[in-house]
Amino acid sequence: MTNDWTNSTSMWASGSTTNSNLTNSTSQCSPKLQGQTGIWYGGETCLLLALLIPQTLRFHPQIFKTSLGAGFVLLAVWGAVNRCAMDVLVWHTTIAFVCLIQIAFFVYEQTLQIFRVPAVLRPIYKTHFAPLGFTPRMFRRLVGGPSRLRNLAQNQPYAIEEITPAGTSLSLLVCGRLRVSHKGEVLHTIWPGEFVDSPEFRATRIHPRQPFQVMGFEVDTINSVQFSNHTGNCRAVLGSARRVPDSTIAANTRAKGATEPCYKHWRGHVLKSDELCELYEGLRLNGITDYDYVLTGYTADRSFLERLVGIIKDLKQGNPQMVYVCDPVLGDTWDGKGSMYVPEDLLPVYRDLVLPMADVITPNQFEAELLTGRTFSTQSEAIEVMECLHARGPHTVLITSADVDGARKNDRLVVFGSRNQPGRRRERIRMEMPRISAVFVGTGDLFAAMLLAWLHRHPHDFKLACEKAVSAIQHVLHRTFHCARELAGHEKPNSAELELRMIQSKKDIEDPQVTLHASSL
């Protein structure tokens, strides 16, 4: 048996065959004998390697098919060289062709995976990342390799501290919500489009107090309160902007427009007036107080506000060209009734000390009426109120939301603007915007920041600056409302679901499409 097998192998290697007819045609095959043995063994080696490749390798299917294809190609070549083995040529060519088709399909699939968003993540991409300008390829790089959808039942834990391994991959919440809790205390909620426990993603989050940092402006921020989360109506920040090349802006935060806290619990502390002065002293001693803009918002303490006025005065003495933008957070109107959510003793400080220092103010209708002592319900009365505010100091006045001439009955709100700077013609504008039936937190903050940013970008076009600021707000609110309704289903969206979608609106903040136009008065 051994000798027969050896003889058979020898005959295959030499291109011989037991068929008498083929033996007789040795003269035809003999010119092609050189190199046939190496080709045959090379093909067999490729087939052997294909069978020995571990299936644990990442690209096992591709390597397996490539090795098979190479082996069958070599054997087909061997059959072609040995013209006496046409059946070998036909069979191996056919098998090699099938392998090549499969390899081409693998390459096609891998190429598509680079540019195609997995079906599981497609809704997240369209809702949250496409508006930011993310291409499918960028999104694929962000979410990594193969994606797996994991469904959790209600109240089923996603991870348990010190029990569930962290792993190396990121998890993206597709739908529903995850509540992160510790010892029964809810710490925060993760919403669709957010990564689960991802410090990298958290570091890129756009904070509502600094939306204009996205526009390339440097910001120095001092929090007048430092809380774990916003309380619905008592969060604030003092912000200042330092002069840098082509980037000057400030920051401000205020939670305005919530009737109840968004979260049941919050922790933190309020910055005292002495601590404010200490922080400012550190900036002053280092000589880094040459700011172009200062923007202030919510303040709940009279002594803090008085110290703030002193700081503004000192900054203006050092830089007379500095622009002070004041968002006079005093209160708002609910169901036709106005109410203050700061102590009443702050009103005379705003009226007598802050307004004379301010260059730009952004009150709502209720706040404008408090500061002037005059109510208004028509356009002409609104103009008179803005003139009264001009007389107290600010050269630019924006009444951010007003109900005049029955606008609220038609689900509309009106924005009034007036600029009366020395050396420039007086400008007055009116804008109407649709009223969204929801309570948002932080819209006043965002408006003040957007107005300041666009006034800086368009210093000689007051109308365009107002149009871009208001349009940016509308884009953010509509996107927020749409996402909140999807989360709430048939229920009314709650305050937590109505958190402003700042990250998803990054593109609209940077370059808003003007959808609301102002008319000159």
Active site residues: 445
Whole-number Cα distances in Å, 207 to 202, 312, 443: 10, 24, 13
Instruction: Work out the number of other CB atoms within 10 angstroms of the CB of residue 491.
Output: 9
Angle 60-81/36-52 helices, nearest 10 degrees?
A: 160
* The two structure tokens encoding residue 480: 């927020």
Q: Is-contact 92 76, C-beta < 8 A? A: yes
Q: Kind and range of the H or E element at 220?
A: strand 220-222
Torsion of CA 207, 208, 212, 214, to 10 degrees: 40
3 state DSSP class of 506: helix
Q: How far apart, in whole angstroms, are the C-alpha atoms of residue 104 and residue 114?
A: 16
Whole-number Cα distances in Å, 299 to 193, 228, 347: 33, 18, 11
Partners of 416 in the β-ladder: 399, 430
Within 13 Å, how many C-alpha atoms sit on residue 430's CB side?
Answer: 17
Q: Is-contact 218 241, C-beta < 8 A? A: yes
Give residues with Cβ within 8 angstroms of 508, minimum separation 6.
Answer: 131, 472, 475, 476, 479
Single-letter residue type at 433 = M
* Phi-psi region at 495: left, alpha or beta (left = phi > 0; alpha = psi -120 to 50): alpha
> Exposed/middle/buried for 443, CB within 10 Å: 0-12, 13-18, 19+?
buried
Q: Is-contact 478 516, C-beta < 8 A? A: no
Q: How far apart, in whole angstroms, are the C-alpha atoms of residue 206 and residue 136?
A: 22
Q: How far apart, in whole angstroms, are the C-alpha atoms of residue 45 and residue 52?
A: 10
Instruction: Work out the number of other CB atoms within 10 angstroms of the CB of residue 27.
Output: 7
HEC letters along 5-70: HHHHHHHHHCCCCCCHHHHHCHHHHHHHCCCHHHHHHHHHHHHHHHHHCCCCCCCHHHHHHHHHHH
Q: How far apart, in whole angstroms, are the C-alpha atoms of residue 60 and residue 54?
A: 7
